[in-house]
Amino acid sequence: MINYSQFKLKNGLTVIHHLDPNSKLCVLNILYNVGSKDEHPEKTGFAHLFEHLMFGGSVNVSDFDNQLQIAGGDNNAFTSNDITNYYITLPANNIETGFWLESDRMLSLDFSQKVLDVQKAVVIEEFKERYINQPYGDVWLKLLPLAYKTHPYRWPTIGKDFSHIEKATLDDVKAFFYSFYSPNNAILVISGNIDLQTTKELTEKWFGPIPAREINRLHYQTEPQQTEKRIEHVYNDVPLDLIIMGYHICERMHPDYYAVDLMTDVLGGGKSARLFNELLKKQKLFSEIDCYESGDFDAGLIIVEGKLIRGVTHQQAEEAIEKVLSELIENGITESELEKVKNKSETNIRFNDMGVLNKAMKLAYAAYYGDIELANTEVSEYLKVSAHDIQRVAETYLKSTNCNVLYYHAKHESTN
């Protein structure tokens, strides 16, 4: 159980407070409702590049990181398809430094050309390090545009291509800032050893004077229902063949979500899961296999991915996976299998609810989803799922006409 209070400033900033008297720390977590899905299709990767720029100096503070380090604090940030999240951890008695820094960069950035140039170079190196210089690093760059034809989930957060990042200008940066980085487009969570009254005073003092701004969100289309299976072949200099299959699922707030998530555990969550036991252990077709959902707010994907044992063909691998899925669709799951995945979810959730930072992020996400109570009701939502629900969602979503397959072909050396 995570206790919290919630209030809103006049400028529209949503504030959530959680007291943890046992901690010596305080966390300031701010979630901006902007992610890569809000990017222009010709300027992809921008939300993430922008996240880097948020550390490059604000209107009154030139050295964000340095000021935080002086106060003994640390910070980081991440960008997803849906949101951009920034967090600061400080010794509890120095938390005002966090308010100062975080509110100043919401007030306005410094918009420096030098910072933009350097961070473009850094992000391009990040693109290379994670997506090009790694075996299979480009899987998402290939799978997403296969699965999505109109929705902006068709490009990954790093962007379609680093030429988009190279082209970013200071005007783009300013426009993006004023379109999205506003109090009325943000959720602030203060968690740790700080009382509610102090939280209210500090929030009002530092964030209160920042004006609300008009949010300029690009309109985007929902993904039309897929009507036939899509297959693509990729050839690359990797040592093993890989198959990756993506099935469209419901959006995060759809009533089916919890059943879908438990279904991925039945199929792929660890060593007692079906795909692992049937295909890796018994049939020995794969050296690794997993199944998970993509964790998006709009309609996302269930991913099944596996590395093939040398000598197994993509077709064999795909048929074997489909057989496990049809078995689930036709015969459903047993009560004990259901209890198992529920128990696992409960442990998982309870372990995740530890530490002031985890709790802050959980509250921020729940508020972003539009139902802050979710931070506490999640376990009971999983417990409500029935075996029948799981069979039903399997039938609904694991259809072959809903599937996108990438055959990733290795370049095999001539001898073993």
Partner 1 sequence: MNQPIRTIAPETQKIKHLDFPACKKSSGKTGVSIYHLYAPVDEVLRVEFVFDAGIAKQTQRLIATGVNRLLTEGTQTKTAEQIADGLDFYGGYLQTRCAVDDAQLTLYCLKKHLRKCLEIVLDVIKNAQFPDNEIDIYKKNNKQRLKVQQQKTSYLCRKAFYETIFGDTSPISSYSLPIDYENFSRETLVGFHRKYYAETIKYITLAGDVNDDVIEELSQFSSSFNPSQSDNKYSNESIIPESRAVKKEKSTQATIRVGRKIINRSHPDYRKLQLVNLVLGGYFGSRLMKNIREDKGLTYGIYSVLESYLDDGCFYVEADVNNDKTHIAIEEIHKEIDTLCVELVPEKELSTAKNYLLGSLLRSIDGPFTIVDRNRILLDYGFKSNYYDEFIEIINTTTAEELRDLCNKYFKPENLVEIVCGA
Q: Which is nearer to partner 1, 301 or 385 (CB)?
A: 385
Whole-number Cα distances in Å, 230 to 121, 143, 294, 326: 35, 10, 19, 19
Figure out which of the listed residues 3, 5, 272, 386 binds partner 1, where binding follows CB under 8 A: 272
Q: Establish if 67 lies at the interface with partner 1 (CB under 8 A).
A: yes
Q: Which is nearer to partner 1, 145 or 355 (CB)?
A: 355
The residue written with tokens 């007291």 in the block is: 19
Mark residues 232-271: x for contact with partner 1 by CB under 8 A, - for none.
Answer: -----xxxx-----------------------------xx
Range in contact with partner 1 (rule: CB under 8 A) among 9-17, 292-300, 326-334, 335-343 = 335-343
415 burial via Cβ count (<10 Å: 0-12, 13-18, 19+) = exposed
Range in contact with partner 1 (rule: CB under 8 A) among 34-42, 223-231, 273-281, 380-388 = 273-281
User: Residue type for 216, please?
Assistant: N
Figure out which of the listed residues 251, 339, 371, 373 binds partner 1, where binding follows CB under 8 A: 339
Figure out which of the listed residues 8, 24, 217, 323 binds partner 1, where binding follows CB under 8 A: 24
The residue written with tokens 């996976």 in the block is: 321
Q: Of residues 168-227, which lie at the interface with partner 1 (CB under 8 A)?
A: 201, 204-206, 208-209
Q: Establish if 128 lies at the interface with partner 1 (CB under 8 A).
A: yes
User: Residue type for 29, please?
Assistant: N
Range in contact with partner 1 (rule: CB under 8 A) among 30-38, 139-147, 150-158, 306-314 = 306-314
Q: Establish if 49 lies at the interface with partner 1 (CB under 8 A).
A: no
Q: Establish if 1 lies at the interface with partner 1 (CB under 8 A).
A: yes
Tokens for 6, please give them.
Answer: 């919630």
Query: β-pairing, 14-19 with 403-409?
Result: unpaired
Q: Which is nearer to partner 1, 73 or 152 (CB)?
A: 73
Q: Which is nearer to partner 1, 316 or 400 (CB)?
A: 316
- Considering the complex, what minimum distance in angstroms separates the CB of residue 93 from partner 1? 5
Range in contact with partner 1 (rule: CB under 8 A) among 138-146, 153-161, 326-334, 342-350 = 342-350
3-state DSSP of 41-64: CCCCCHHHHHHHHCCCCECCCCCH
Q: Establish if 292 lies at the interface with partner 1 (CB under 8 A).
A: no
Dihedral sign, Cα of residue 264, residue 268, residue 273, residue 278: positive
Cα separation, 192 vs 91, whole angstroms = 10
Give the DSSP H/E element, type plus range, for residue 32: strand 25-32
126 burial via Cβ count (<10 Å: 0-12, 13-18, 19+) = middle
Range in contact with partner 1 (rule: CB under 8 A) among 41-49, 64-72, 227-235, 252-260 = 64-72
Cα separation, 416 vs 110, whole angstroms = 57
Cα separation, 247 vs 170, whole angstroms = 39
